[in-house]
Chains A and B, each alone.
Chain A
Amino acid sequence: MSHADAPLLDVVGVTKQFPGVRALDEVSMTLRNGEVHALVGENGAGKSTLIKVITGVYQPDAGELRMGGARTAFPAPLDAQRAGISTIYQEVNLIPLMSVARNLFLGREPRRFGIIDTARMNREATGTLRGYGIVGDVRRPLGELGLGAQQMVALARAVMIDARVVIMDEPTSSLEPREVDTLFELIRRLHRGGIGILYVSHRLDELYRICDRVTVLRDGRVVHTGPLAGLERLRLVSLMLGRDVTTVRREGVTSFTGDHADTSAAPVLRASGLRSRHRLHGVDITVRPGEVVGLGGLLGAGRSETVKAIAGALPLEAGTIEVAGRPIGRPSTANAVRAGIAVLPEDRKVEGIVPGLSVRENIALAVLPRLSRLGVVREKQLDAIVRTFIDRLRIRAAGPEQPVDELSGGNQQKVLLARLLATAPKVLLLDEPTRGIDVGAKAEVQSLIDELAAQGLGVVLVSSDADELVEGADRVVVLRDGAVVGELRGAEVNTDALMAAIATAAGAQDGADDD
């Protein structure tokens, strides 16, 4: 970093005002040559707005951008791209049906006599991508690659178009650990090459692994900027939250407290021998009232599939599901809901909220038959229930009639939880309940899970956040390749044991199968 003459990118006193909100308030930060700079903050802290200002999507109301010390302005996103600023989003914005090579060279295809020189393009693409650890046929459609590999292609593309600043927005949220390793390897190489990387992520582990410096935003202001090494994790969390370090410490990293499970009680959920082609090979799960059972394992181990199967959303070849001792009939989502199973899907946008509909309608969705007479909805009763849940879950919305897609991720998640709870379920299946939501909402959701378990619900918790899984669950069932390979109980439920169990599960097949 010592070779930096003028900083790569300077954001100087940028203010951006939206109706009713000051999204950015005199924000200044510096991205140096060859550094990986973490940009963190709760949802609504102003991260996205800042990125949009830097990439020319928004114009700052006050303040300016400087590149290499010279004042600059990006009237449109294309201008930012021309200046060497490249953004890689969590959803890769390439064209899935075009070949890998075409995607890599999009807009700059090598030509011969005015026609794309496919042979040369494919040859060069193969060579380039090998450097990024991607081997395979570059003539195949991009969509056939895994998400991680697609992201590598996006990154390779960014580097090829001579990007000097690369902005990565939650790049790892859908990657497997191995892919994350490859990505980080690549980031390290880029930053040795002098490229500045602005790295946005909710995952603290990653920040400490890869980032040199950090800028913390809160409520549109910079509350901290400086080297990451030496900044204590708790201090970072408290900066983001605006809470006292001691409270964070006392409450732990997550907001879970104690156990509620009554080990003598009859199971509220018993799923046995769940089998589904290619996905599940005989999974057994038992949950008692008041118990939070975590599902551990790597991506693709069958955690989400298990949840989907119990919820009736995955066709089963074999297996039985009982709720409070009674088998639910033919597995279907309708039967599962009727039996008292409620599922919070992994992907909030795709499988959860109904965009365009109001908060009220989204909450009411699953409980309508109970709130109707002869098929006509009883609006007053519905209003009462909606109001109750908005208060109880502290859903921050302008009102019940606000379209749900205008809410922040955390509040959308709470709307979904309200939808589940309105059906008065016996079993809650929570698939990544806190993914992609801000730290504050995360804490609220975690304590809510606790509270619900204390009231006697059976909870199945899937989380890729090891802390959350360990602190939240009373018991962790570890899965691999669609089968149960281990279980942690009581004192065994800690991060080290979980990592060990997963590592064992992935590596030593024989030992695990003997159980």
Chain B
Amino acid sequence: MTDAAVDRPRLDAARLRRWLPVYGVYVALVALFAFNAVFTERFLLWENVRIQLVQVAPVVIVALGMAVVIGTEGIDLSVGSVMALAAAIVPIYLGYGAAPAVLMALVGGLVVGLVNGGLVAYVGMQPIVATLALLVAGRGVALVLSGGQLKEIRNPDLIALGSTDLAGLPVSVWLAVALTVVIGFLVRRTVFGRRLVAVGGNRRAADLAGLPVRRVLIGVYVLSALLAAVAGVLAVARIQSSDASQVGLLYELSAITAVVVGGTPLTGGRVRVLGTVAGALLMQLVIATMIKHDLKPSIAEMVQAVIILVAVYAARERRAR
């Protein structure tokens, strides 16, 4: 029938448009991995894979929190500064041992999360503005706390966190895997997870259905800040020093990129946890590929920009019903 002949390609295009933003990241990841496996020397060596995973772990952890915030139609620009804040807090309390120091770093994250969430949920500020304020203020406080100096870390427990392997993989990578599972469970199976996507999908409707919208919003910003604090501690442990002016720099952008490339729409109402992880891996792999093939960092940045544009372009179809 002519009908079918005319309709079929169109239908496939429509299906592709829906499919692409969700699964495109996995295809790209596999393709790029395969490319490297064939054309990049020493790519498949365990040592190389390990380095890539260690580098991507903090991005994954921060991006998980970012994905949850973006799921509520928000954004958290303060994550990089929270990492710096956590990094600045750690050496202050390290005298009491690694655990109290890490705990205090997390408390620092908690405070920033509460402020972010409070500004968004109760004051009614736009997330981008509220968290931009904390982006500036957070690093400022971190610099004050650290006195603007780089501090070396000599605590063996903390250093172990950054350099020990567990079953062949570094602790930080295991932590990223574990947190991915936790956030995945949180988003898919818990009341909080269901509520946060409802708030992102239609805030008025969620409110009228009696959902505690403000509590949910505060929850996601706290979660995001806590995850950023964890990433900050990991960064300190790995480089065995704390430099509040460097830790977490531009991480907010890496995290947002991972989330967007992973297929989570910026318009909220959906969180793709695995996609976010794949997005972070993909961006890491892009940079690694460029470096291995002796391309300038500036070119790597342009390629990243193109990937972001493609991801956003592919996701754009979702809006037009």
Q: Which residue of B lies closest to A17 (CB)?
A: B3
A141 to chain B, nearest CB (A): 22
From B42-50, B59-67, B188-196, B234-242, the one touching the partner chain is: B188-196
In the bound complex, CA of A311 to CA of B209 (Å): 9
Interface stretch among B197-205, B252-260, B278-286? B197-205
Say yes or no for A495: interface residue by CB 8 A criterion. Answer: no
Does residue A432 face the partner (Cβ distance < 8 Å to B)? no
User: In the complex the two chains form, what is the Cα distance from A57 to B206 in whole Å?
Assistant: 34
Question: Is B167 an interface position by the 8 A CB rule?
Answer: no
Interface residues of A in 325-339 (CB under 8 A from B): 333-334, 336-338
Evaluate whether A19 and B11 lie within 8 angstroms (CB atoms) in the complex, with A333-B207, A333-B210 already known: yes
B195 touches A350 (CB 8 A): no
Residue B212 CB within 8 A of the other chain? yes
Knowing A354-B269, A357-B197, the reply to whether A365 touches B209 (Cβ < 8 A) is yes
Instruction: Indicate if the CB atoms of B205 and A338 lie closer than 8 Å.
Output: no
> Cβ of B321 < 8 Å from any Cβ of A?
yes
- Provided the pairs A345-B205, A355-B201 are in contact, do residues A365 and B190 lie with their beta carbons within 8 angstroms? no
Of A234-242, A367-375, A459-467, the segment with at least 4 beta carbons within 8 Å of chain B is A367-375
Q: Give B268's nearest chain A residue, CB to CB.
A: A356
A363 to chain B, nearest CB (A): 11
In the complex, which of the residues B3, B202, B206 has the most CB atoms of chain A within 10 Å of its own CB atom?
A: B202
**Chain B min CB distance to A342 (Å):** 8
Min C-beta distance of B308 to chain A, whole Å: 22
Closest residue on chain A to residue B6 by CB atoms = A61
Chain B interface size, under 10 / 10 to 19 / 20 to 34 / 35 or more: 20 to 34
Contact of A354 with B195 at beta-carbon distance under 8 Å, contacts A17-B7, A372-B190, A375-B190 already known: no
- CB neighbors of B among A7-59 (8 A): 17, 19
- A462 CA to B7 CA, complexed, in Å: 44
- Chain A CB count within 10 A is highest, among B194, B212, B270, for B194
B312 within 8 A of A: no
Q: How far is the CB of B79 from chain A (nearest CB, A)?
A: 25
CA distance A354 to B72 in the complex (A): 12
Please tell me if the beta carbons of A366 and B210 are within 8 angstroms of each other in the complex.
yes
Whether the Cβ atoms of B195 and A368 lie closer than 8 Å is: yes
Q: What separation, in Å, do the CA atoms of A483 and B61 have in the docked complex?
A: 55
The answer to the question of B208 belonging to the interface, with a C-beta cut-off of 8 Å to chain A, is yes
* Size bracket of the A interface: 20 to 34
What per-residue 1/0 map shows which CB atoms of B259-303 lie under 8 Å from chain A? 000000000011000000000000000000000000000000000
Whole-angstrom distance between the Cβ of B198 and the nearest chain A Cβ:
5
Instruction: Report chain B residues within 8 Å CB of A337.
Output: 209-210
Give the CA-CA distance A132 to B128 in the complex, in Å. 43
Q: Say yes or no: A357-B198 contact (C-beta < 8 A), given A334-B212, A351-B205.
A: yes
- Whole-angstrom distance between the Cβ of B191 and the nearest chain A Cβ: 5
A375 cross-chain contacts in B, Cβ below 8 A: 190-192
Interface pair A354/B206, CB less than 8 Å apart: yes
**Which chain B residues (157-209) contact chain A, with CB distance < 8 Å?**
189-192, 194-195, 197-198, 201-202, 204-209
B204 in contact with A350 (CB, 8 Å): yes
Pick the residue among A345, A355, A368, A372 that contacts B208 (CB under 8 A): A345
List of A residues within 8 angstroms of B189 by Cβ: 376-377, 379
Please measure, in the bound complex, the distance between the C-alpha atom of A311 and the C-alpha atom of B212, giving whole angstroms.
14
Interface string of A110-145 (1 = CB under 8 A from B): 000000000000000000000000000000000000
Q: Is A301 an interface residue (CB 8 A)?
A: no
A343: interface (CB < 8 Å): yes
Q: B191 contacts A377, CB within 8 Å?
A: yes
CB distance from B222 to the nearest CB of A (A): 15
B211 at the interface (CB under 8 A from A): yes
- Min CB gap A59→B, angstroms: 9
Docked complex Cα distance between A368 and B205 (Å): 15
* Cα of A365 to Cα of B196 in the assembled complex, Å: 11
User: How far is it, in angstroms, between the C-alpha of A336 and the C-alpha of B205 when the chains are bound?
Assistant: 14
Q: Would you give the shortest CB distance from A382 to chain B, in whole angstroms?
A: 10
Complex Cα–Cα for A463 and B219 (A): 38
C-alpha gap A334/B209 in the complex (Å): 8
Q: B197, B205, B207: which has the most chain A beta carbons within 10 Å?
A: B205
Give me 12 A-to-B residue pairs in the complex whose CB atoms sit less than 8 angstroms apart, sorted by A's number.
Answer: A333-B211, A337-B210, A350-B202, A354-B205, A357-B198, A364-B194, A365-B198, A365-B209, A372-B191, A376-B191, A405-B321, A423-B210
Residue numbers of B with Cβ under 8 A of A are: 3, 6-7, 11, 189-192, 194-195, 197-198, 201-202, 204-212, 269-270, 321
Which residues of A come within 8 Å of B, CB atoms? Answer: 17, 19, 61, 311, 313, 333-334, 336-338, 343, 345, 350-357, 361, 364-366, 368-369, 372, 375-377, 379, 405, 419, 423
* New A-B pairs, 14, CB < 8 Å, besides A356-B270, A365-B206, A365-B209: A17-B3, A61-B6, A333-B208, A333-B209, A334-B211, A336-B210, A337-B209, A350-B202, A351-B204, A354-B202, A355-B202, A357-B198, A357-B201, A375-B190
Q: Top 8 closest A-B pairs, CB basis?
A: A337-B210, A354-B201, A366-B209, A354-B202, A351-B204, A368-B191, A356-B269, A372-B191
